[in-house]
Structure 1
Amino acid sequence: MIKMFRLAFLAPEFIPTWGGVGIYSVELIRELSKKKDLEIHVITPKRGKNYSKKRVLRYFDDKINIHNVSTANDTFFYNFKFQLALVKEFPKLHNKYRFDLVHSANLVHMPDIFLKLFGQLDIPTVCTIHTTIDSQSRLYGKKKLKLIKNREKVEILSRLTYPYINYMQKQNIKRTDRFIAVSEYTKNLVPGLKNCRVIHNGVDLKKFQKDSNDVLDFLDDIKMPKVLFAGRLLSMKGLDTYIRSIRRILKRKKAYFIFAGTGDVKKWERRLRGVLKKYYRFLGYVRHTDMPALYRKSDIFVLPSLTESFPLTVLEAMASKTPVIATDVGGIPEIISHEKNGILVKPLCHKGLADSILRLLDDLKLRKNISNNGFETVNDNFTTNKMADKTYEVYEEMLN
């Protein structure tokens, strides 16, 4: 057994969280910070004008160390700045603290790639695989997706820079000692990958049992059933299909559709042209601490994505006892058993999605059964403490 060790956790996304990788990083570190023999150093960009390191540390009960080595004000180029900043700042931090292990939070971000290429890492490295640039590029290259005109800038940039990022990702894989995949699906994205353990994402059940939030109390005044989508407003999230399904649903039943997430709201509002605004609302960025109340105020959660690795939003909705409808893609079938703890639909099928939403809205008994089974699924399999314990086991194996 190891007595005490220092972990350098490289987190391109941290607090404030704005994506799944950020939430994964925050929740994992929060649980790991409870380990008495682990000294955690999170190395991350400083995001936003109102960023406060003191507030961030308070969230972790001052049990971790945070080192801001760059700034982040966008959703694409900030990562390259972070990679370059690490080349300069990581050796200084390593000389001061003598880290025993480096954990890179996301393979696609590959924050330590230049450290590896320049031979600046002489300690064991582990990397979490949420997706690969190759799988994203194949998605954008599909004929059906070429018809979608509502791509965000970050999606276009990812496609244009694919050859460079794909090459660098392959170099990163060669130079990484161990891997953690968030699902069997993501593990299989890298054929022949060795030294990889599947550790599913997890959520903190206690957080998602809160009943009220003053910021979202306006939703209580809406008497229509509420259908929630939470995620970045990207074409790969299946929003074109979802909007077509909304039009179909409103011809048969009144409902209120909530969009929670960052992106080009005006662009997607144009796609909803002709739909009265009393039937939908874009909330923009919603703090992760406010999400439990939003899930619980919603009657159904919908994730119509074209690809997903192991979506935390599905787990969070289940933990909130909100029934889930999601596409049968990626790692989602590792969570949802059709008609037992959720509803699976085919991607890019607006009729099937609309019919499933209408079915749940009309069948209260089915909603309750799915809600209860979904909660039990998360409680039994997908909690943050299970995720952290298994991750800690990987650290121990590497250091022993």
Structure 2
Amino acid sequence: MNKVNNLKILHINPYPPDHLGGSEVFCKNLAINLKKKKNFDSDILTSDILKKNVKFDYLDGSIKIFYKKNYYSLWGINPLVNIYSFLKKNYQNYDVIHVHSYLFLTSLQSALFRKIRKFPYVLHIHGGIQTPQNLSSGLIERAQLGFKNMFFDKWIGSFTMKTADALISVSKKDLDIIKKRFNIQHNHKYYIPNGVNTEIFNKKKENGKMFVTFIGRLSYIKGFDIFMNVIKELYKNNKDLNFLIIGKGPLKKLIKPAQKNLPILHSDYYPHEKMVDIYNHSKVVLITSRFEGVPTTMLESLACETPVIASNVGGIPEVIRNDENGLLIENFNTKSAVTKIIDVLHDQDKSRTFGKNGRKLVLKDFSWDVITDKIEMVYKNFTS
């Protein structure tokens, strides 16, 4: 085992770093910052879902990404990829194996292999712990959530979590649920939130159009239908506003009809390294989720001093302090959301105060200096 000042970590994530998702962004930035700030080497083991027939690649010059063939995506969201053989051949090359999310077949394979071989196995929970089944927009999504809640969590999810030597969650609320729902009684459970590169994500002086912005999956759970209702109502008496949507999903179909009457710009995807431009061109970022963890977009918005108005659900109120660094919407109320958006748009002093307080909070609790220190402490428990 290496000394703690020169560890080698294997990160396992079903989706590669280029995929626009919270756990992928976190995994990529964690690997980069562990090297930069701690001199820990990292590899990433993932699927080739975005890069067919590519065996390996490099991230940031030194982080090797191993791509394994994706044979099928279960329900379109769970890559069927064989990582077991890679672990069997290579696990002894790593001091810690850090698995991201408990929901995927990659996590199950890691847990199964941990049962037959001894190695430090850290499982990182990126949300999705207790999604209510009624938060689905159709029969397929309802069936998926029913399967997850009644079968997957009870047997597979529970096994995956109980096998881990340590559990990390991005949300304090999820840690409480894990203890009760999965009966995880050991003390190796840690709250470590998502991190933000505060050198990249900061306030810039921008010219041109400014937007009311939505960033994320265009789905019922993310409340994209609520966002669309809000901007329709908002535009009635505020014809100078423009709207920006970044993301794709089953409710994308709502955009085209609305564009006949509303000034909406939409892009399925925007490179993460350029998202700072989106935040700086936003008057406000609106998060209308019905269910949520601690979204990275919220933290990045705050780092850029862009006001956030968000649903009072999940881990959001762990970050947004009402009337201090943003505003919370109760009960997905369209009228309330419109009132609060107008308030922020018309009160520049309030908008600036939210922005300054938001960045101050991110620097204190969510910078990568803070996050890598906390991750290092978890690793030390197994490598000292």
Q: How far does residue 125 in structure 1 lie from its aligned partner after superposition?
A: 0.8
1:397 match: 381
2:352 match: 368
Relative to structure 1, is the Cα distance of residues 20 and 396 closer, same or farther in structure 2, using a 3 angstrom cutoff? same
2:152 match: 165
Question: What SS does the aligned partner of 2:282 have?
Answer: coil
Instruction: Compare 114-123 and 20-29 and name the one that shifted more.
Output: 114-123
Question: What SS does the aligned partner of 1:43 have?
Answer: strand
Relative to structure 1, is the Cα distance of residues 277 and 207 closer, same or farther in structure 2, using a 3 angstrom cutoff? farther
Is residue 384 of structure 1 aligned with residue 379 of structure 2?
no
- List per-residue Cα deviations over 1:234-283 (Å, max 9, x = no partner): 1111112221111211121121111101224641226xx45635521221
Q: How far does residue 210 in structure 1 lie from its aligned partner after superposition?
A: 7.1
Relative to structure 1, is the Cα distance of residues 52 and 364 closer, same or farther in structure 2, using a 3 angstrom cutoff? farther
Inter-partner Cα distance in structure 2 for 1:282 and 1:26 = 25
2:64 match: 65
Is residue 228 of structure 1 aligned with residue 213 of structure 2?
yes
1:89 match: 86
Inter-partner Cα distance in structure 2 for 1:35 and 1:304 = 35
2:303 match: 319
Relative to structure 1, is the Cα distance of residues 74 and 292 closer, same or farther in structure 2, using a 3 angstrom cutoff? farther
1:259 match: 245
Inter-partner Cα distance in structure 2 for 1:106 and 1:295 = 27
Is residue 33 of structure 1 aligned with residue 72 of structure 2?
no
Question: What SS does the aligned partner of 2:98 have?
Answer: strand
Q: How far does residue 348 in structure 1 lie from its aligned partner after superposition?
A: 2.1
2:170 match: 182
- List per-residue Cα deviations over 1:31-88 (Å, max 9, x = no partner): 112256533221111232589788x62x42x232222122488685563412xx0122
1:117 match: 112
Where in structure 2 are the equivalents of 1:1-400 lying within 5 Å? 2=4, 4-34=6-36, 38-49=40-51, 57=58, 59-60=59-60, 62-71=61-70, 76-77=75-76, 79-82=78-81, 85-94=82-91, 98-109=93-104, 111-117=106-112, 119-133=115-129, 135-136=130-131, 138=132, 140-141=133-134, 145=135, 148=137, 155-156=141-142, 158-159=144-145, 161-162=147-148, 163-166=150-153, 167-190=155-178, 191=180, 192-193=183-184, 194=186, 195-209=188-202, 211=204, 221-222=208-209, 225-254=210-239, 255-264=241-250, 266-269=252-255, 273=257, 276-400=260-384
Q: How far does residue 201 in structure 1 lie from its aligned partner after superposition?
A: 1.2
Amino acid at match of 1:187: L
Inter-partner Cα distance in structure 1 for 2:53 and 2:211 = 33
Count how many residue pairs are aligned between Structure 1 and Structure 2: 373
Gaps of 5+ in 1: none
Q: How far does residue 307 in structure 1 lie from its aligned partner after superposition?
A: 1.5
Inter-partner Cα distance in structure 2 for 1:132 and 1:8 = 23
Inter-partner Cα distance in structure 2 for 1:237 and 1:297 = 22
Runs ≥4 residues deviating over 4 A: 49-54, 72-78
Q: How far does residue 4 in structure 1 lie from its aligned partner after superposition?
A: 3.5
Q: Contact 2:285 / 2:309 at 8 angstroms: preserved in 1?
A: yes
Inter-partner Cα distance in structure 1 for 2:278 and 2:55 = 27
TM-score (norm 1): 0.85
Q: How far does residue 346 in structure 1 lie from its aligned partner after superposition?
A: 1.2
Amino acid at match of 1:90: L
TM-score (norm 2): 0.88
Amino acid at match of 1:41: D
Amino acid at match of 1:127: L
Amino acid at match of 2:163: R
Question: What SS does the aligned partner of 2:324 have?
Answer: coil
Gaps of 5+ in 2: none
Amino acid at match of 2:193: H
Relative to structure 1, is the Cα distance of residues 174 and 266 closer, same or farther in structure 2, using a 3 angstrom cutoff? closer
Inter-partner Cα distance in structure 1 for 2:259 and 2:13 = 40
Give the fraction of aligned pairs with identical amino acids, expressed as a percent: 25
Q: Contact 1:247 / 1:275 at 8 angstroms: preserved in 2?
A: no
Q: Contact 1:108 / 1:131 at 8 angstroms: preserved in 2?
A: no
Q: How far does residue 314 in structure 1 lie from its aligned partner after superposition?
A: 0.6
Relative to structure 1, is the Cα distance of residues 235 and 117 closer, same or farther in structure 2, using a 3 angstrom cutoff? same
Relative to structure 1, is the Cα distance of residues 75 and 221 closer, same or farther in structure 2, using a 3 angstrom cutoff? farther
Inter-partner Cα distance in structure 1 for 2:54 and 2:225 = 37
Inter-partner Cα distance in structure 1 for 2:252 and 2:66 = 36
Amino acid at match of 2:7: F
Inter-partner Cα distance in structure 2 for 1:110 and 1:73 = 11
Amino acid at match of 1:12: P
Inter-partner Cα distance in structure 2 for 1:306 and 1:266 = 17
Inter-partner Cα distance in structure 1 for 2:273 and 2:170 = 23
- List per-residue Cα deviations over 1:112-132 (Å, max 9, x = no partner): 313433534421211111224
Q: How far does residue 197 in structure 1 lie from its aligned partner after superposition?
A: 0.9
Inter-partner Cα distance in structure 2 for 1:286 and 1:53 = 25
Relative to structure 1, is the Cα distance of residues 73 and 286 closer, same or farther in structure 2, using a 3 angstrom cutoff? farther
Amino acid at match of 1:165: F
Inter-partner Cα distance in structure 1 for 2:323 and 2:295 = 18
